[in-house]
Structure 1
Amino acid sequence: MPKLPLLFATTPFPTLFFLLILSIFQVISQNLDDERSILLDVKQQLGNPPSLQSWNSSSLPCDWPEITCTDNTVTAISLHNKTIREKIPATICDLKNLIVLDLSNNYIVDLTANNFSGDIPAAIGRLRELFYLFLVQNEFNGTWPTEIGNLANLEHLAMAYNDKFRPSALPKEFGALKKLKYLWMTQANLIGEIPKSFNHLSSLEHLDLSLNKLEGTIPGVMLMLKNLTNLYLFNNRLSGRIPSSIEALNLKEIDLSKNHLTGPIPEGFGKLQNLTGLNLFWNQLSGEIPVNISLIPTLETFKVFSNQLSGVLPPAFGLHSELKRFEVSENKLSGELPQHLCARGVLLGVVASNNNLSGEVPKSLGNCRSLLTIQLSNNRFSGEIPSGIWTSPDMIWVMLAGNSFSGTLPSKLARNLSRVEISNNKFSGPIPAEISSWMNIAVLNASNNMLSGKIPMELTSLRNISVLLLDGNQFSGELPSEIISWKSLNNLNLSRNKLSGPIPKALGSLPNLNYLDLSENQFSGQIPPELGHLTLNILDLSFNQLSGMVPIEFQYGGYEHSFLNDPKLCVNVGTLKLPRCDAKVVDSDKLSTKYLVMILIFVVSGFLAIVLFTLLMIRDDNRKNHSRDHTPWKVTQFQTLDFNEQYILTNLTENNLIGRGGSGEVYRIANNRSGELLAVKKICNNRRLDHKFQKQFIAEVEILGTIRHSNIVKLLCCISNESSSLLVYEYMEKQSLDRWLHGKKQRTTSMTSSVHNFVLDWPTRLQIAIGAAKGLCHMHENCSAPIIHRDVKSSNILLDAEFNAKIADFGLAKMLVKQGEADTMSGVAGSYGYIAPEYAYTTKVNEKIDVYSFGVVLLELVTGREPNSRDEHMCLVEWAWDQFKEEKTIEEVMDEEIKEQCERAQVTTLFSLGLMCTTRSPSTRPTMKEVLEILRQCSPQEGHGRKKKDHEAAPLLQNGTYPATYKHSEKESDNEDDDNFI
């Protein structure tokens, strides 16, 4: 029998009973004390209403008239008719045993985040004492009842994020809500003008009408409301001038961005001594920046980028306030940068690119330890960069391209610095050996400078670098023969230097490299066959001293311009305009005895090698057959199959091989039962799978196996064992979109039809765009957890026999929300020219990186251009935005092949949409759902639109040339990730 605890064993029973009762009362008392603390906190958050005066710390909750207790714990609260006007605090949920909560006959209605639909009932007008009405994030699909004007005591009204609400104007009856303090109607399908009756809202403090379709001018009375503290009208269609008379002197935040406002910035803004944030970007404002704005003592955020402002920057910016964000890019500003931007030591970013600014970078910025980014590209700055800018501890981006900066590359960088763009300047000297310490650098663009010396081995140790552009400098010597850590490298451009020696074989082992430009150097020797293992969108080895046979993978169409002025190169097959290797005639009279002996040795050695190889193949085949009989294969089936794994395995032959990629080989196999063609992707054939490829394989199976959509390639099954992994897909007869647009990597033996004999007409291009958008939209919107692809590009959009588009190659995709895992990626993936700007400096990802990449595809469809242009040394996105800024007509940018048979309105809309999707800031891009809706409106076949004549205004057209681009779609917040510069 177990021993009793000491207390029970030694204490007399009456004493023991007393102690037990005392212990129970202590527990009850402690529980009620906790509940009393919770309820007193609730009372305080409700504003200590007089009707709850019995709630005090000297009595227990069970004695309060509003409280019901069961077994000495609070189980019911009745706050009926207690004149409560505040939101019920969430702390009331800490009462673990609460069953009943009665809030009837008060002044609050909070129906946030339900699925209410239908009309807002007219009877709501009878709640004349209502103080608080929140209808945020529902699915109401009616309009506002006029009876809303009867709520004379209403102080808080919120109707945000009801995008199914029927488009309607702001009710003029709102003007009767004279006690209204808070009006929040973001994304409520508002149209028309802001009613003049708003001048009666004398109590209004917070007004948010953002993300709607409001038109007309901003009423002059709006800035005369003396109690107004927050004004958000961004992302509408407001036009005209900003009212110059300003009496709302309590204003703390003003956001009028992403409208069509014109005229000057009112000097009256300088009178707002409480103003912390002024956002006027993406408008058409002109004139100079008022000097008195720089004197506001509370100013933290000043964003006026993408306007037509001129003159000099007021020099007092940063001197009188704790300035954090200063963004004035894409204007016509001149003069120098203000010297005191970081005087208070809290500045996060300076963004002043694309102006006419000059002078040197203020030395004070070199001492600014808070800086996250400095962006001064495309101005007329000169001099050296203050050394502290390179080492500012939290610096992420340094973008200084297109100036006249001089000096040398720094030996040390800030630990978080991931993007350095200094192209088109006058930097000189060698790459320092200490560059190996730049371990987090992802993008280094130093093109067109005066850098010299050798490419050091230390440069190849940068494990996170994805883009390395050193073209147009004076580098010489040989490239390092070994490459230590360039596993993430996507784009390498060393053209227009003085590099010599052989091309390193190690380049062929870089798994993500798809852009390689070594042209206009002095490289010699053969092109390493290992380069053929790469999946290159761009290859340029022109104007060197190379010799020998071009690797077989590059002897086909798509590489016609890759070997210009390399007369010693030759080919045996394909369509390149180079001499044939087997057509060269050898003059036997000049052939020395030495070479005759060497040839004889090679012939004999070759014969012996063939014999040995044949014997080894026979033995290996026997071993393979034995292995196939005994190695277990695991088949995971996603569709009904009429073949088995043995049939697939026996058909993985060279005759069925149609392509090689960075992660394996692709075979085309005919199903001998159904006649259906299958595509089989083989991931690795080593004894032990590479860890990275294994992750890609798992990702592809995990995602594709669960998706069922007509615009996503169908995965039939996966077959795997310890040494191989196979994915079996439906075969897409017309192959990939990039073959039809750019004629890349044609293999005449594997093409079912010649790309060059068919022009991808405009209706087909529009059909492809809609199909691909449907697939991506399904991934982002309809899956139980949103899926991001991470490598959307024209080569991953496959086409069936009817040119229906399907999204393919999910090897880089990942569930955005996956239980137990963070929403980050370990490294940058994707393809150069399609990668969103933010993806190069952060591992945080969301659906907007797919939107950016899809925008590039739209620009390809419209212009016919490749994502990366050899001729102009800029990517397609940069080129497209340049055309927009120069106000070129749509005829000047569209593909010549579609000019005769396209509808201009549709082409203009797709070009506009491509620009929308490729804005720098992720928050300004549309969602794929919005993209799909715009595309559907272009197509009568989709049932959402009608055909437009060329003279009609296409969606988003502006000034008869280009559409007004989608520049901002979400309210700016304090989160730096949403800012223009981050």
Structure 2
Amino acid sequence: MPTLRLPFLHLLLLPLYVISQPTATQNDQNILLNIKRFWSSPPSIDHWNQSSNPCSWPEITCNATIITGITMFNKNITGGFPPFICDLKNLTHLDLNYNNLDGTFPTSLYNCTNLQYLDLSQNFLVGRIPDDINRLSPELWYLSLFANNFIGDIPVNISRLSKLTSLQLHMNYFNGSFPEEIGYLNDLEVLNLAYNPFTPSRIPQSFFQMKKLQTFIMAEAKLIGDIPGNFSGMPAMELLDLSINQITGSIPTDLFLLPNLKEIYLYRTNLTGKIPDSVESLNMKIIDLSENKLTGEIPTGFVKLMSLTNLTLMLNQLSGELPAGIGRLPNLQDIRVFTNNLSGPVSPDFGRYSDLKIFDISENNFSGKVPENVCYRGLLKGFEVFDNNLSGNIPNSIGNCSSLKSFQVYGNQFSGSIPDGLWKVSRLERMIIRDNLFSGELPPELGPILSNLDISNNRFSGQIPTGVSSWTNLRIFKASYNLLDGVIPQDLTTLSNLQTLWLDGNRFTGELPATIVSWSSLNTLNLSRNQLTGQIPVGLGLLNVLTALDLSRNNLSGNIPTQLGRSLVLLDLSENKLTGTIPSRLDNGAFNQSFLNNPGLCSDNLLLGLNSCSSRSVTKSSSKTSVKLVALIASIATILLLIAVLMTGYVIVHYRRRNYDLKWKFTSFQKLNFTESTILSCLTENNVIGHGGSGKVYRVPVNQSGKFVAVKKITSKKELDQRLEKEFLSEVEILSTIRHSNIVKLLGCISCDNSKLLVYEYLENRSLDRWLHRKRAPSSRGFNGSVRHVVLDWPKRLHIALGAAHGLCYMHHDCVPAVIHRDVKSSNVLLDSEFNAKIADFGLARVLAEDGQLNSMSTVAGSFGYMAPEYAQTAKVNEKIDVYSFGVILLELTTGKEASNGTEQSSLAEWAWQQSQGGAPIEDAFDNEISEPVYMNDMTNVFKLGLWCTSKLPTNRPSMKEVCQMLLRCSVAAAVVAKNVCDVADDLPLLKLENV
């Protein structure tokens, strides 16, 4: 199938008679040597010299003594285009794919009158494709310009290259139109215009009359309107990808009648109606109609698709049953029909007849049992059937499924015990079985990499096993509302990776373990609703990252440790038998519900609702007077509170008036339709959306149509004035002069004697770290509730990585002099409504004195986990410290982990290097949220790129240009060739770990 012709296939196009190695003419040899000198003699072509025969050079193809072809894929060529290359009069094949060529489209190629094959893709060409592009050779049959920076319209005259069979213009910045005349290229077999920000357009009817077209890709191209229903005019069609557009209407009824159709990608296109019943494309391999508004039933005709490997119908409104015959398809590997209205039983044949790897039918209304043989071939990685009405036992065969990575069956009516082998599957990372009727006891041993175990709301009984200390990789353990009993063992506190522990609603007795300092990662502990006794251990107050603690509804006694409360945000100690005074750290209104129904506790803070500590020393007769005194104090407090409210209103009004009285200076860097008064009047607490080291960030409406801006207010403190002033001036200086679509726009700045305001474009999806690490507002469902979060899928993550890389590449390579950010991190990567990434926060950025030289900083500034080791040690900066930080972001995107766990001894980069050397499969390091097999190659390559970027020696790290090129290759391959052909892992530089 002639989809995207990847570079390693280009060599197959070279004439076989190169083996004979004829001798080129002296003139042609001189031209090639001039080309080498023009490109400053890159090391990759050192073998081009006067004493050797050009026909023996691997980049050169000869016919007899005549040079006919040049193939220079990935030769690290930098600079412009040699204007004399067409002095090679017989040149028919020119491939300069995947280099660093810049400038505009080389019109000097018009002089190559015999050119048949031209590939300038994956470079840095800019500007418009010239209107007279048709002046290229009339013999041209292959034209590839994808992954450059072309803008504007695709010229109409491109359609006059009448012999074209492959036209690939995807992954550029075309923001104009594409001509319908392309549809008149009668010999065209491959047309790829995807991933361009065209003006919203309909698909021309002419495109559906190309009888030889085999591959048609226009994903994410701002298409609108219906899909024309005349697919009968495209009998050769093999791959159709119109995904991520604003197409309306239904799927044309004749789409599935194309006899050669193998792959359909129509996800996220707003399609409605039913899937056509008639299916005659019996060679179909991939169907992806996900994230639409499709209704009706899954066509029974799908059971005839014997070549089908992937069926993706998730996130629609489909109903009815899942046709039983689909389970008998011999090549089915991946079925995802989650989040629909499907019902009925699930065929027992799934997995019995094919190499099934992903089985996801979650969030439907299926009933009955799960397939007995779903892991019959031993390849199943994801078993997701949660939120259905399934019942019965989990088949013992699943317990022997050694390939399984994710097992999620929660929200059903399963019963019985969990197969013994399932607990210990060696690759299992996530096991979520809550909200069922499972019973039995917990196992003494878990799989070695199981990190998320949720058994809440079941009927598990018995004690926590003595072998719990072997659960070393566990990060999340939730066992709420079961029948567990006995004491909480000391061994449980040895799990140093444990972050969340919920054991509430059980029958635990006895005292809490006295020594718990090993819980160094624990941030959430819920032991409420048990029968625990004894005192609260002092060690709980020594846990540095513990933010949520619930010990309510037990029989705990004694004093509350004074150490408690160092970092607590949520605390509930109510309904116990605690005594004494409230520690000073907790004696405030933030914990006014935390101590209720503990008669022995006291506090002089009326907001806590406890007995007054001072009343304990008075006699019974004087206690009545104390009650009256308290009542009097309460009355006075009420009066004072009313006065405070009135005064607050006065202060706010006075402050706003004072704002207008100050002499504000408003400097705008773009044409704006608002003034400083619009901004100043909205700097209220209700509009605060974030806090930083230098002050607050506000979301400010600037017109009535819903447009917002983000405003960063620099908070002034005497000891910080000089530093903050320097950061303010740095950000204004840099952002007011640079312009790039992947760098946040500074709209203006407002300043007076004691305040500084920076006004930016507002980005709806905020910062990347909020998406990767769940940094959002707390759930309204309470301490023990759960909220389904939105997951960043891999295509989005790759898109974000590429956007951020483009921004940094611009700063390093296109700004004169270069700009170094110095604080690249996921919280400084902002996302707009379409998840386009923009680099933000330039307060620490610096301009290099001279290209290539190290600058010395008076102080080291940055964020732990992202800081390059040489910068932390020497305070010397160049572009490579940003490359290191960006590498950490790539590791965050692939693993889902944070850059640092908060200690100075560990970081994500160090952990990733250890993983790469440990011998375990590299995919074991990947984020469970996106561990679908179809993305494994892409994620592996980006993970390796992250390792390369975080090499300890700066000289071993790539440039941001090289990083962009790597990500472009992954993006193009992932998006175009079945989303899973980014086979470039072997092309990445070998990581010489011993030298790093």
Name the residue aligned to 2:142.
108
Letter of the 1:316 counterpart: D
Name the residue aligned to 1:678.
717
Determine if contact 1:334/1:357 at 8 Å carries over to the other structure.
yes
2: CA distance, partners of 1:790 / 1:300? 39
Determine if contact 1:400/1:422 at 8 Å carries over to the other structure.
yes
Sort the Cα spacing of 1:137 and 1:676 in 2 relative to 1 into closer, same or farther, 3 A: closer
Matched residue SS, 1:140: coil
- Aligned with residue 486 of structure 1, among 510, 516, 519: 519
Letter of the 2:826 counterpart: I
2: CA distance, partners of 1:357 / 1:406? 16
Sort the Cα spacing of 1:680 and 1:505 in 2 relative to 1 into closer, same or farther, 3 A: farther
Name the residue aligned to 1:903.
none
Verify: 1:279 aligned to 2:317, yes or no.
Answer: no
1: CA distance, partners of 2:331 / 2:77? 42
2: CA distance, partners of 1:542 / 1:223? 63
Determine if contact 2:457/2:481 at 8 Å carries over to the other structure.
yes
Question: Structure 2 matches for 1:520-531, cutoff 5 A?
Answer: 520-531=553-564
Provide Cα deviations, 1:114-150, integer angstroms capped at 9, x if missing partner.
1111111111111111111111111111122121122
Q: CA deviation at 1:112?
A: 1.2
Determine if contact 2:596/2:609 at 8 Å carries over to the other structure.
no
Name the residue aligned to 2:600.
568
Q: CA deviation at 1:813?
A: 7.0
| Structure index of larger Rg | 1
Sort the Cα spacing of 1:201 and 1:42 in 2 relative to 1 into closer, same or farther, 3 A: closer
Sort the Cα spacing of 1:827 and 1:179 in 2 relative to 1 into closer, same or farther, 3 A: closer
Q: CA deviation at 1:921?
A: 5.9
2: CA distance, partners of 1:205 / 1:113? 23
Determine if contact 2:342/2:364 at 8 Å carries over to the other structure.
yes
Provide Cα deviations, 1:392-419, integer angstroms capped at 9, x if missing partner.
1110000000001011111111111000
Provide Cα deviations, 1:551-576, integer angstroms capped at 9, x if missing partner.
12222222121111112111134622
Name the residue aligned to 1:137.
171
2: CA distance, partners of 1:703 / 1:395? 47
Name the residue aligned to 1:579.
611
Matched residue SS, 1:486: coil
2: CA distance, partners of 1:215 / 1:497? 55
Name the residue aligned to 1:496.
529
Asked which structure has the greater RCO (Cα within 8 Å, sep 6+), the reply is 1
2: CA distance, partners of 1:43 / 1:559? 64
2: CA distance, partners of 1:549 / 1:451? 33
Q: CA deviation at 1:171?
A: 1.2
Provide Cα deviations, 1:590-618, integer angstroms capped at 9, x if missing partner.
9xxxxxxxxxxxxxxxxxxxxxxxxxxxx
Question: Structure 2 matches for 1:740-779, cutoff 5 A?
Answer: none
Letter of the 2:189 counterpart: E
Determine if contact 2:695/2:715 at 8 Å carries over to the other structure.
no
Determine if contact 2:21/2:62 at 8 Å carries over to the other structure.
no
Letter of the 1:147 counterpart: E
Question: Structure 2 matches for 1:188-337, cutoff 5 A?
Answer: 188-337=221-370
Determine if contact 2:230/2:254 at 8 Å carries over to the other structure.
no
Provide Cα deviations, 1:482-525, integer angstroms capped at 9, x if missing partner.
11421111110000001111101111111111110000001101
Sort the Cα spacing of 1:66 and 1:87 in 2 relative to 1 into closer, same or farther, 3 A: closer
2: CA distance, partners of 1:87 / 1:447? 69
2: CA distance, partners of 1:574 / 1:730? 37
Name the residue aligned to 2:838.
none
Name the residue aligned to 1:382.
415
Sort the Cα spacing of 1:211 and 1:813 in 2 relative to 1 into closer, same or farther, 3 A: farther
Sort the Cα spacing of 1:558 and 1:351 in 2 relative to 1 into closer, same or farther, 3 A: same
Sort the Cα spacing of 1:731 and 1:48 in 2 relative to 1 into closer, same or farther, 3 A: closer
Provide Cα deviations, 1:218-276, integer angstroms capped at 9, x if missing partner.
10111111111111111110010001101111111111100000111111111011110
Name the residue aligned to 1:421.
454
2: CA distance, partners of 1:452 / 1:335? 32
2: CA distance, partners of 1:575 / 1:42? 71
2: CA distance, partners of 1:571 / 1:294? 66
Sort the Cα spacing of 1:392 and 1:679 in 2 relative to 1 into closer, same or farther, 3 A: farther
Determine if contact 1:312/1:334 at 8 Å carries over to the other structure.
yes
Provide Cα deviations, 1:813-835, integer angstroms capped at 9, x if missing partner.
74795169654479966999xxx
1: CA distance, partners of 2:930 / 2:555? 40
Sort the Cα spacing of 1:394 and 1:520 in 2 relative to 1 into closer, same or farther, 3 A: same
Verify: 1:354 aligned to 2:387, yes or no.
Answer: yes
Verify: 1:434 aligned to 2:467, yes or no.
Answer: yes
Name the residue aligned to 1:552.
584
- Aligned with residue 818 of structure 1, among 884, 890, 899: 884
Name the residue aligned to 1:153.
187
Determine if contact 2:155/2:179 at 8 Å carries over to the other structure.
yes
Determine if contact 2:158/2:182 at 8 Å carries over to the other structure.
yes
Letter of the 2:590 counterpart: G
2: CA distance, partners of 1:297 / 1:475? 50
Name the residue aligned to 1:655.
none
Sort the Cα spacing of 1:580 and 1:448 in 2 relative to 1 into closer, same or farther, 3 A: same
Q: CA deviation at 1:306?
A: 0.3
Determine if contact 1:42/1:91 at 8 Å carries over to the other structure.
yes
2: CA distance, partners of 1:811 / 1:44? 44
Matched residue SS, 2:230: helix
2: CA distance, partners of 1:475 / 1:286? 45
Name the residue aligned to 2:52.
72
Q: CA RMSD in A?
A: 4.8
Sort the Cα spacing of 1:973 and 1:527 in 2 relative to 1 into closer, same or farther, 3 A: farther
Determine if contact 2:18/2:62 at 8 Å carries over to the other structure.
no
Q: CA deviation at 1:48?
A: 5.3
Provide Cα deviations, 1:168-218, integer angstroms capped at 9, x if missing partner.
111111022211111111111111111123331111111111111111101
Sort the Cα spacing of 1:545 and 1:387 in 2 relative to 1 into closer, same or farther, 3 A: same
Matched residue SS, 2:533: strand
1: CA distance, partners of 2:306 / 2:69? 31
Matched residue SS, 2:446: coil
Matched residue SS, 1:264: coil
Name the residue aligned to 2:827.
789
2: CA distance, partners of 1:820 / 1:219? 44
Sort the Cα spacing of 1:706 and 1:782 in 2 relative to 1 into closer, same or farther, 3 A: farther
Name the residue aligned to 2:484.
451
2: CA distance, partners of 1:316 / 1:459? 41
Determine if contact 2:62/2:69 at 8 Å carries over to the other structure.
no
Q: CA deviation at 1:323?
A: 0.3
2: CA distance, partners of 1:703 / 1:298? 59
2: CA distance, partners of 1:472 / 1:211? 45
Count residues in correspondence. 636
TM-score, reference length from structure 1: 0.58
Q: CA deviation at 1:589?
A: 13
1: CA distance, partners of 2:353 / 2:336? 17
Determine if contact 2:493/2:519 at 8 Å carries over to the other structure.
yes
Letter of the 2:319 counterpart: S
Letter of the 1:678 counterpart: K
Provide Cα deviations, 1:49-85, integer angstroms capped at 9, x if missing partner.
7xx46423x4446489998784324299888999xxx
Name the residue aligned to 1:542.
574
5+ residue gaps, structure 2, are 1-5, 33-48, 94-114, 116-136, 623-691, 697-713, 737-742, 747-753, 758-800, 812-820, 831-842, 845-860, 868-881, 902-906, 914-927, 933-973, 983-996
Matched residue SS, 1:326: strand
